[in-house]
Amino acid sequence: MSDSTTLADPAKPAKKPRKTSFTKALNDALDIGMERFPEMFLIGEDIGEMGGDFAVTKNLWAKYGAARVRDTPLSEAAIIGTCVGAAMVGMRPVAEIMFADFLGECYDQIVNNAAKVHYMFDGQFTAPLVIRTACGGGFGGGPHHSQSVEGWFLNVPGIVIVAPSNPADAKGLLLASIESDDPVLFLEHKALYRTRGDVAEGYYTTPLGKAAIAREGTDITVVATMRMVPMALAAADELEAEGISVEVIDLRTIRPYDAETILESVAKTGRAVVANEAPKIGGLGAELSARIHEECFYDLKAPVGRVDGLDTPIPFSVPLEHEILPDQTNIVSAIRVTIEAGR
């Protein structure tokens, strides 16, 4: 499904793939990271003995102890502040912010501190930290447990935003994030936690800043993130029967994003749809659409189509939530409209 480039580690070669859940893949990455980096530690609410709200840190407290798997009170600013300070002196902290909706509580630490210490002190410090957080809707979480937050951070130079769509990438991207010397916001879409896929055992990384061509096609390019990727792949299957060949790009890193792969693909297909779950105004879709228009204008046969969430908060009631979140049907119709417009 993904072309995750695996960097071989001579010490511990990656073994053959096994069907693994997204959650377990993340757990494996943390386990391997903790083994490889003695100065890595985990910090967050209920991540210790309990193993985290989504079980991503399961068993790590028992294996690595309370000093390296640190439970905290509800103090998001102090959690991220602790990570920044420790990272400034060379440790490799990995925080869990239980729900992405709570990132407002530590927004200052991320935006004004983690993202800026390298720049404003002109390279004297780095902030090699990872902030893992559960985002996204579709499960009745309501207005404060369902949001897609990439837009909140898209406009922040210095931060890296990583957003996997499948278990193999989740593991490789998390290990690459841990190794990164830049601060990483690592988005875990809640609807993906239970999905399963082939995941190689042992250590490997998937490069940051590189998109994957999840499916090759010739008529139109769909650029998608997180849960929109499996939806885009299903939409591509559906349209194949009608003779429409869809290329699906899994962006994987949202900032800095891989413009080259997108622009090359659109230059080939001449049509594009960008799909992400967050509200439409000022979001990732707006950025990608603008960039494609700017740089591929003369290759385009139709305006770039956009699939986003509606510009509303996320309501609790399931039919209402379905009404505002984008899905496979929306992707299919956006592709159709873009194909029609270009005839």
Partner 1 sequence: MERDTLLGLYSDMWLIRAFEQALEREFEQGNVPGMLHTGLGQEATQAALASHLKATDCFFPDHRCHGINALAQQRHRGNGERIMAELFGKATGVCSGKGGSLHSADPAAGNFGDNAVEGSYMATVLGVALASQLRGQPNVACAIIGDGTVGRGEFHESLNMAAIWNLPVLYACVNNGYAISMPVGQGHASADIIDLAKGYGFACDQVDGNDIVAAHTKVGAAIEHIRQGNGPYFLEFKTWRWQGIFAGEFRPEAEVKYWREDHDPILMANEVLQSMGVDIAKLNATEQSQRNMIEEWIAFAKESPSPDLAKATANVYVSWEVAPK
Q: What is the contact surface with partner 1 in residues (CB under 8 A)?
A: 39, 41, 67, 72-73, 75, 77-78, 80-91, 93, 108-109, 112-113, 117-126, 157-158, 160, 180-182, 208-209, 256
Minimum separation from the CB atom of position 2 to partner 1 (A): 21
Catalytic residue (choose from 144, 145, 293, 322): 145
Decide: helix, strand or coil at residue 307: strand
CB 202 within 8 A of CB 298: no
Q: Which of 10, 57, 49 is nearest to 31 (CA)?
A: 57
What is d(CA 81, CA 242) in angstroms, rounded to the nearest whole number? 53
> Is 322 a catalytic site residue?
no
Report in angstroms how near the CB of residue 72 gets to partner 1 at its nearest.
7
Identity of the residue, 172 or 309, whose beta carbon is nearer to partner 1 in the bound complex: 172
Closer by beta carbon to partner 1, 40 or else 222: 40
Is 341:331 a contact under the CB 8 Å cutoff? no
Which of 91/302 has CB closer to partner 1? 91
User: In the complex with partner 1, which residue's Cβ is closer, 175 or 229?
Assistant: 175
* Three-class secondary structure of residue 206 per DSSP: coil
Q: What angle do CA 286, 144, 226 make, to 5 degrees?
A: 45
Distance CA 192, CA 194 (A): 6
The least distance separating partner 1 from the CB of residue 144, rounded to whole angstroms, comes to 18
* Least CB distance to partner 1 at residue 77 (A): 5
Both tokens assigned to 259: 């413009």
Catalytic residues: 145
